[in-house]
Amino acid sequence: MRSEEADLVNKLSARLSEEIENLPRDGKDHELTIKIKGNRGHINLGHQTFDIKTAKEPPPAGSDRARECPQCRRCTWRYTQLCMHCDYNLQRHDEVTEHAKEQARKERLNLQTLKICISCVAIAVLIFIASDYLPVTLKPWAVTLTGVLGLFAFMLTTASKKS
């Protein structure tokens, strides 16, 4: 687009915006006429009709672009930052929700690790106590198994502290 045409389009857009702002906000249809005089090169605007809607419209029912606002529970657009009804910050809500889910996942993982460690230590202690009652040929195996389970529990706790 040449600079002269771009300048004309910018002026026309500014004038349209100004006229739209001056329209009454009574919800009725209003006619807006802008007359352009003179020959402006190859731009032929002709007769145009524009529907200008100032009210916010929710997404179509069943659309994949719709979502429910967690604050007002009304249907709003999925990929906007603010709810169109109550201006709730949907983007921040999604970030906080994702962070909470990640924290819950980490807590579940830590709880599972703790259960495994306690089980390993309990089994190791039982094997160590029972080794006194085992035949002499099985005592070295019992002590070795106790050490392996203790080492495994230690490695699990060390790994869970790093993550």
**pTM, 2 dp:** 0.47
Q: Which of 34, 31, 33, 42 lies closest to 5 in space, CA to CA?
A: 42
Instruction: List the beta bridge partners of residue 76.
Output: 67
Per-residue pLDDT tens over the stretch 27-38: 677 777 766 665
Per-residue pLDDT tens over the stretch 65-96: 899 999 999 999 888 888 888 889 999 999 99
Question: What pLDDT is recorded for position 44?
Answer: 61
Helix axes 139-162, 90-130, angle to 10 degrees: 160
Q: Which of 146, 157, 147 lies closest to 117 in space, CA to CA?
A: 157
- Average of per-residue pLDDT across 37-54: 59
Question: What pLDDT is recorded for position 161?
Answer: 75
Rg of the chain, C-alpha, whole Å:
36
Question: What pLDDT is recorded for position 58?
Answer: 83
Q: Is the pLDDT of residue 52 over 80?
A: no
